[in-house]
Structure formats: structure tokens, C-alpha cells
Amino acid sequence: MVNQSTVTEFLLMGFSKNQDEQILYFVMFLCIYLIALVGNFLIIAAIALNHQLHAPMYFFLVNLSLTDIGYITTTIPKSMVASLTDNRLISFAGCAAQVFLIISFAGSEIALLTVMAYDRYVAICRPLQYRLIMNWDACTQMAAASWISTLIYSSVQTSATFKLDFCGTNIIGQYFCDIPQLQKISCSNTKVNQILLFVTAIPLDTFCVGLIFASYGNIFSAVLRIPSVQGRYKAFSTCTPHLTVFSLFMTTALFSYMRPKSLSSPTVDLISAVLYTVLPPVLNPIIYSFRNKDIQEAVWKIPKKIKSLLR
């Protein structure tokens, strides 16, 4: 692919050209990155070490945490190195890999959130059939389908993007390689790529969002029919973390890609990208830990579990 283009590397937009501010951004992103890693690894460890949490809902939560780790790792470390060394260059192959991974993890995020909404629907609306429907084979197949489908979609979009010619400017107006920004600097006709992106992304996203709304429509209808207040509260409490995480992800994504051009500027683009790629991986484990007592208890038991395993 490199031989088809005169551009062999790209220049990512930084947050500042001032050295002191770059160090500040490095420290800030390092803290954010560590919070995301620690939070998601704690979720994974808590579920893995606690047999009581070996249930479909927590199985999908582990997959979501793995996705969040990969998602934030794809962008933040490169940005931290650029801030520390003042080197914002990224190779052609590195840019292609970054695009592929970002699409893969973002797609997996919404796919897993869709599957988790279906899991909550079955648990609340069809509780007697829950173990039959959400058996381990079905859970494994749904998780695998989420990953495989997004990898295929990412391969198609990445291949289509990097078949374009890049023979002019190599400056990407973002702190990571992003398809819309790459289309802007390409010297090829990008209409086919834009149509491909629209035709594939909109139906898939609409399907996932529609399925989530349909699941929660049925869930709310079923919960409101529960006679006891305590029963309604318990049912809602199992759904609140997932609904909050979904709302966070969709809000930041819509603001990043669907906001009007009047609200677009280099600074706003950078801030919206940070919200979209950084905020969900950081806040997801916090939301689930804060709203789920089983997760809280399992996290506090991690040291004891590790000690017992080492004996």
C-alpha cells in the first residue's frame, strides 16, 4: 500500500506546541490511562476469581472491559509518547493499524452493549427460560459474533481507506488516525468511500440501537407490572449500569460524528475525539462498580482470592 502513495508517514495534530503544556498533557493522559487500565482489570479479575459471578451478564462485562482496554490503548499511548518526545509522526502502516483497531474496538463496544441489552431483556421478561436461552454456548457464540463481525467490517473500511492516494499534505487533523480526516487529505475521489462508510455504518448502528431500545421498551413495560416496589427497584438496578454506559457511548459518538459543521473546529474536533475514545473506557468500570454491589464485594475480595491461589 505504501508503494501506491507518495506519503509514507502522517503527522498527527497535537494538543499544544508548548513544551510545558505537552508535559502537562502527558501527565494528564497517563493518569487517565492508568485509571482505565486499573478499573477494567479489576472488573476482569473480580469476575474471574469469583465463581458467583460466572454468569452471562458478567461474561459479557468481561468482554466489554477487554474491549475498553484495547480501545484506549490504541490511541492514548501514542499520544503520550508524542507529547513527551514532541514527535507526532506515525508511519503509513502504523496509521492503518490504528484505524483498523479503533473501528474494531468501537464496533465491538456497541455490539457487546446490544448483546448485553438482550441478556437483560431475557433475564427480566423471560426469567423462567433464562438459563435455557442464555446458555454458555449461546453466550460464547454471541460474543464471538460480536468480535468477528466487527473485525470483518473494520477490514473492509481500512482496506477501502488505504487504497486511496495520499500525495498532498500528510497532516491529520486529529490526535489519532481517523477515517474522515484521512479522506479529507486524500488526493483521490473519496465519494465511493463516503458512500461505503454511510451505507454500512448507518444500518448496522441503527440495527444495534433499535434492538437496544426495543429490549428496554419491553424491560420497562415488564418492570412496571411488578407489584412490589422492591421488586421494581431490583429489576431497574440491574439495568441502570448498562443503560448508563450505552447512553455515554452513544452521546459521545454522536457528538463526534453527527454534530453540525457550525460546531466543528480543530479544537472542538480534538475535544470530541477525546470524549469518544477516552471517556467510555474510563467511566465504564466506575459505573458498573458504583451501581453493582456484587462487583463491589468481589473487588474487595480480590486480595484474599489471590492469597488463597498463591498458597
**CA distance linking residue 169 with residue 182, whole number of Å:** 10
Which residue range(s) make up the domain with 51? Answer: 2-310
How much is the pTM? 0.88
- pLDDT the model gives residue 145: 94
Instruction: Determine the Cα angle at 280 with ends 11 and 260, to 5°.
Output: 65
pLDDT above 80: residue 311? no
Domains identified in the chain, total number: 1
Helix, coil or strand: residue 9: strand
Q: Judge whether 48 and 299 are in contact, CB under 8 Å.
A: no
Which helix (H) or strand (E) covers residue 102, if one does?
helix 92-125
Which is more confidently placed, 140 or 4? 140
What amino acid occupies position 110?
I
180-225 pLDDT, tens digit per residue, is: 888 888 888 888 888 888 888 888 888 888 998 899 888 888 888 8
Query: For residue 64, what is the domain's CATH number?
Result: 1.20.1070.10
pLDDT above 70: residue 56? yes
Region 56-69 average pLDDT:
94
13's torsion region: left (phi>0), alpha (psi -120 to 50) or beta?
A: beta
Q: Exposed e or buried b for every residue in 70-102, given b needs 16+ CB within 10 A?
A: bbbbbbbebbbebbeeeebebebeebbebbbbb
136-183 pLDDT, tens digit per residue, is: 999 999 999 999 999 999 999 999 999 988 887 888 888 888 888 888
- pLDDT the model gives residue 2: 44
> What is the full DSSP assignment across 233-282?
HHHHHHHHHHHHHHHHHHHHHHHHHHS-GGG--HHHHHHHHHHHHTHHHH
